[in-house]
Structure 1
């Protein structure tokens, strides 16, 4: 009997690990729906968001490349072709200027050198991302347009070239703004909030991410979740970028806003003896001759030379007579942007997050941060040149290039940048205004920084942003979401109390009728708001810099400018605006949504929201149409509202949907929610993802 017991016991112990393994596997299956120890997969939810579960980091990068191709394959390849400077060779003359810009700025060559400088581990990640792109194209070539297949195979250098083109030669300096015209209206904007526990109704910090970009081309956001051993982040990347640029994890999150950053200068050169004058000498240009190939209508290639000159300032971008202009841009020697973003998303606390930021690889963008520990931060992030003289305005013009006194060679270190952590107010905001107005009472003093660091102003959208935070002592998560969709016009609140009485007292009958419409208007740009079209038309006809009797003041940044400088002229402009609206739409009180439309991928809905300078937090940009209506072309894009409770609570939206590839059901599938001023839950727990699963792909 004892022998039998010993034999039984030995057999039980032999099979016990196997039994325990089965039990553990069963638990994993019940909790997660699959055993993932040795596999990588993409779980696609019903909004076309890829949730990537990588067996290791390299596999996660490869899956992310695959996912971007499934959602945006044609666009990704076209963007990479442009980043190579070979788009005209592939697709014809309409890309010629793009190629000239990219090649003149040295984007492809610099990307190749940047690739060699990456750490071995991160170089492998970039290779994996490119491999994912190529694997998708090989397996699903029928789903990709034939004309963009010429870009294949994609290399990691193409990924870096695309990043370089987007960051340095679209955001830092746009080809349409060179020549010293820095005041031109930007293609990019954004709102960002961080709310500390003392101002949060739940006692948990909250974050609002709200970039504004065109709804097309390289500006499209791609929403995703990336999970790998030691890494789990949810957010968005610009299409073609292999890491998340705006994200949150279980511990922290951040957003970016386009800051009032000046990271480039145009220098005027005086030419002499085939060179240029500098510090009393004549220096020769460094000259390189490149070849531009352009595909002709008959399919043949035409080759033309591209001569690129460099001075000590940078690349020469124009030459007329005995003068030339050279361009100097920050960040061309900082190749580790992607790894910095990756490590920001890996961080578990503020210290680790700032350790990544301190590398200063990202050339620009304000950082708004919040975490589960209750910390919030505003950082005026960027590579800011150390300049010997001049204020911000001075550096907006073309700079004399004949002396080293104007030539900057270094940037400010991290500790020099405007920054505030945990302000007394308990909240931070940025709506593309300078850092001085991030919170009230003022936490970052402009006088402590060089005058060239950032300008001094606060426009109406930023004032509306600050007003909503300033006036609410305890903000709930739902209130934050509601504020995000606010279409209240700060400009209307500021000026109608003067304009309406002036029109009623001294205006014509038409002007008085217009005043009555404005008096009954809700001062919003909702679809059913009647009076918003009339007011916006009036604003187009006035000079905002001259209309106010009290100019904007640093001492009263949230409540100025104010008052009408010339009531009689303002009323005359109102009459003219009323006549225009009456003629175009047949009535003065036409609803905003009758005129302004959310129009994307054949979906047409009454719009809400409007662009600057009306002072609306919910930013939507429109393009005029021939029939008098206006079509949405940009503005609010990816949105994330996050509360750092445990577990993290998050609501999101990608206005135009998470795909552009023909045939995808996710092109424009979120536009109705956008029109309804709604967000949707961010499914970042695996159980929630599986409950809303559209497709599973295993690798």
Structure 2
């Protein structure tokens, strides 16, 4: 009996030891981060009635320190997720889903790239990142009870840079490559044109690639899953002649409303000439879009062919690959991904491979290397800083011509009346004289298929000062941007670039409404921006063709077919607007999203109309007891205890793109219209702008008065003033204080 007791005691001790090890190994293995150089920073933060911060400092670095402090005051929760992701530790916070990001962090060599390339940046750019890191460290030191993870701080500029390296490629859809390759699924067809001589066959379309393995639809620090597939935005620029007054720039980004790629509004000003207002993502020291006193820009996501995949021929041991007939060693290392499970963190081993082509993914079909635009570069960190401080179109365009920012369309306007559209993309400089199907998996044995760098600035599509007086983009091809007389000829762009050939409902509506307008003044532009209509084209036409083709037996009220037929008939009478006024709006809202998603993600086949109509009917009957409830009862903007009705739908200019289905059957918006900024330069007058956010400045601070204080304005299609000029900031200040890491 004593032997049994001793064995039981030993087992308990071993279990306790194992528990302690699993609960403590991760921060020990991660180690304490390296702090930035010991420098003292000081910034003034002034907040207006909506809590939006205006950050002032003597130097640009002082301002960057203040940006970090302001972001942390408003959303330290999300900032820590971004920091953990930037150090390959997100799984220790978010479990298995977080470990997926950590795998990608290692796969793309985000840390290695930052370590190699960050020191090469100009000193003044690095100074911003070191100061920003110092601000994060200062807040963490002052608020230790808010820190999620041991040894997460201190961080330094290289850590912040690593986050940029990891995040940027996913805006042009790298998840559509990595996800399917990891899962061993079929790759999705790209939006670019066929390569001459290599027509794509009519093979079975790819399924929703990798969703069972990689899709994540919650709040995350990277655009992935549904959020990546639905990334969108609207952007407009109008010349003074067309507006009848000001040069106008409208930024209407569609991002997740929460998480690491949700917009954060701010204004920055230093005594070194940095004065800019706009928005960024948590973890950035500067705004990504907005305006200074002279010029401004906004962005929309574009989807050129930015990545090439190479099938590697491996030896029997799978440790070498063949290149030009010779065997080369495959670089391989083992990393341990932290996966939190309750109070413990499990170390999950994963092999990371790399060839001369780039990152290598092994699946049941073999080894595949990936090479993508912007790979192994941090130059975007400097380029964003420079365009923040540009004073005219020439300076701005000089920085854009570096091709340092890997992707996203830029719509530009300035005080002199210039407007421009730039299809910005560091598209791989694929050799034109090499015979290869760049829209397919390439032969990894051929070194002549391994390109270097990006195409020249002169090769990418752009429109500058069109005669129409207007420019727009709504995630459509660049060949419809300025009206029929000014649009780019698709034949002028090489198919090897892989520039997408696609339209969205938003682009069709915008093009039509802009083309029909003789005057684009504020009232007309507001009507266009908040438009809730659908054109009966593309996937909308396909859906309605399917509805019209549905056949039903004679009606029997005691069968489920009765409500289904009524729903079909109701939709066929729909007015094609999601304005909360029609009896079919709720049904249409539920139906259209899945058809839009199939087209956005280029799955190659439309959903089954009858199946999706049945789902919509079942949902409405279960939660509302009718198939025609007001759409305003169904679609909601919810935060804390505020619950408001919304208009718009998936892919309308007033964008309510994706949502979570709550227990009460309501759809709570999670992605769509987010940060909106409206900028006007009137001749001889200082720049004036207005803006709005869906919730408020303090998204993750329920106790803050700025957690929900912009919601009513947002649903009412109203904007608030932006206080850009110092005298206006002081006159409207509600809080004013200094932050510093000095004594």
User: What band does the TM-score fall into relative to the shorter chain?
Assistant: 0.7 to 0.9
C-alpha distance 327-252 of structure 1, shift in aligned 2 (>3 A): same
CA distance in 2: counterparts of 1:67 and 1:244, whole angstroms: 13
- Counterpart for residue 390 of structure 2: 347
Bigger mean CA deviation after superposition, 437-446 or 376-385: 437-446
- Counterpart for residue 257 of structure 2: 215
C-alpha distance 578-632 of structure 1, shift in aligned 2 (>3 A): closer
Q: Say which one has the larger Rg.
A: 1
Quote how far apart the aligned CAs of 1:97 are: 2.3
Tell me whether 1:475 sits opposite 2:475 in the alignment.
Answer: no
Tell me whether 1:403 sits opposite 2:446 in the alignment.
Answer: yes
- CA distances 1:93-114 after superposition (whole Å, capped 9, x unpaired): 5532222221222112222223
Which one of the candidate residues 345, 352, 357 is aligned to 1:313?
A: 357
C-alpha distance 211-177 of structure 1, shift in aligned 2 (>3 A): farther
CA distance in 2: counterparts of 1:518 and 1:171, whole angstroms: 35
CA distance in 1: counterparts of 2:230 and 2:117, whole angstroms: 27
Which one of the candidate residues 576, 582, 589 is aligned to 2:628?
A: 589
CA distance in 2: counterparts of 1:240 and 1:208, whole angstroms: 24
- Counterpart for residue 620 of structure 1: 657
1:134-533 alignment runs, 5 A limit: 134-142=137-145, 145-148=146-149, 150-169=151-170, 171-174=172-175, 175-176=178-179, 178=181, 180-181=187-188, 186-202=229-245, 204-229=246-271, 230-273=273-316, 274-293=319-338, 297=342, 299=344, 303=347, 305-320=349-364, 323-388=366-431, 395-441=438-484, 442-453=486-497, 454-491=499-536, 517=570, 522-533=575-586
- Counterpart for residue 697 of structure 1: 737
- Does structure 2 conserve the Cα–Cα contact (< 8 Å) formed by 1:390 and 1:451? no
Give the SS at the match of 2:479. Answer: helix
CA distance in 2: counterparts of 1:343 and 1:541, whole angstroms: 40
- CA distances 1:477-523 after superposition (whole Å, capped 9, x unpaired): 23323322221222389859997996999997768865875587553
- Does structure 2 conserve the Cα–Cα contact (< 8 Å) formed by 1:181 and 1:397? no
CA distance in 2: counterparts of 1:270 and 1:496, whole angstroms: 42
CA distance in 1: counterparts of 2:173 and 2:131, whole angstroms: 28
- Counterpart for residue 671 of structure 2: 634
CA distance in 1: counterparts of 2:101 and 2:379, whole angstroms: 25
C-alpha distance 538-48 of structure 1, shift in aligned 2 (>3 A): closer
Bigger mean CA deviation after superposition, 59-68 or 264-273: 264-273
- Counterpart for residue 706 of structure 2: 666
- Counterpart for residue 3 of structure 2: none
Quote how far apart the aligned CAs of 1:419 are: 0.9
C-alpha distance 253-545 of structure 1, shift in aligned 2 (>3 A): closer
CA distance in 2: counterparts of 1:262 and 1:495, whole angstroms: 27
Give the SS at the match of 2:75. Answer: helix
- Does structure 2 conserve the Cα–Cα contact (< 8 Å) formed by 1:484 and 1:618? no
- Counterpart for residue 110 of structure 2: 107
- CA distances 1:442-500 after superposition (whole Å, capped 9, x unpaired): 52111111113213232222101112211111111233233222212223898599979
- Counterpart for residue 131 of structure 1: 134
Which one of the candidate residues 669, 683, 689 is aligned to 2:723?
A: 683
- Does structure 1 conserve the Cα–Cα contact (< 8 Å) formed by 2:528 and 2:653? no
- Does structure 2 conserve the Cα–Cα contact (< 8 Å) formed by 1:196 and 1:206? yes
Which one of the candidate residues 661, 664, 680 is aligned to 1:643?
A: 680
- Does structure 2 conserve the Cα–Cα contact (< 8 Å) formed by 1:658 and 1:666? yes
CA distance in 1: counterparts of 2:393 and 2:688, whole angstroms: 19
CA distance in 2: counterparts of 1:576 and 1:288, whole angstroms: 50
- Does structure 1 conserve the Cα–Cα contact (< 8 Å) formed by 2:621 and 2:627? no
Quote how far apart the aligned CAs of 1:307 are: 2.8
CA distance in 2: counterparts of 1:93 and 1:544, whole angstroms: 25
Bigger mean CA deviation after superposition, 378-387 or 87-96: 87-96
C-alpha distance 118-593 of structure 1, shift in aligned 2 (>3 A): same
CA distance in 1: counterparts of 2:734 and 2:95, whole angstroms: 38
CA distance in 1: counterparts of 2:569 and 2:595, whole angstroms: 20
Give the SS at the match of 1:435. Answer: coil
Quote how far apart the aligned CAs of 1:370 are: 0.7
C-alpha distance 177-231 of structure 1, shift in aligned 2 (>3 A): farther
- Counterpart for residue 222 of structure 2: none
- Does structure 2 conserve the Cα–Cα contact (< 8 Å) formed by 1:537 and 1:581? no
Quote how far apart the aligned CAs of 1:244 are: 0.8
Give the SS at the match of 2:655. Answer: coil
Unaligned runs of 5+ in 1: 1-37, 547-568
Bigger mean CA deviation after superposition, 161-170 or 641-650: 161-170
CA distance in 2: counterparts of 1:502 and 1:181, whole angstroms: 29
CA distance in 1: counterparts of 2:369 and 2:483, whole angstroms: 41
- Does structure 2 conserve the Cα–Cα contact (< 8 Å) formed by 1:683 and 1:689? yes
Bigger mean CA deviation after superposition, 364-373 or 645-654: 645-654
CA distance in 2: counterparts of 1:579 and 1:254, whole angstroms: 43
Give the SS at the match of 2:632. Answer: helix
Quote how far apart the aligned CAs of 1:573 are: 8.6
Quote how far apart the aligned CAs of 1:692 are: 2.9
Quote how far apart the aligned CAs of 1:656 are: 2.7
Give the SS at the match of 1:164. Answer: helix
Unaligned runs of 5+ in 2: 1-40, 191-207, 209-225, 556-561, 600-607
- Does structure 2 conserve the Cα–Cα contact (< 8 Å) formed by 1:541 and 1:577? no
Quote how far apart the aligned CAs of 1:64 are: 1.0
- Counterpart for residue 566 of structure 1: none
Which one of the candidate residues 95, 119, 124 is aligned to 1:121?
A: 124
Bigger mean CA deviation after superposition, 481-490 or 463-472: 481-490
Give the SS at the match of 2:148. Answer: helix
Q: How many residues align?
A: 632
C-alpha distance 271-66 of structure 1, shift in aligned 2 (>3 A): same
Give the SS at the match of 1:487. Answer: coil
CA distance in 2: counterparts of 1:498 and 1:216, whole angstroms: 33
TM-score, with length taken from structure 1: 0.82
TM-score, with length taken from structure 2: 0.77
Bigger mean CA deviation after superposition, 400-409 or 65-74: 400-409
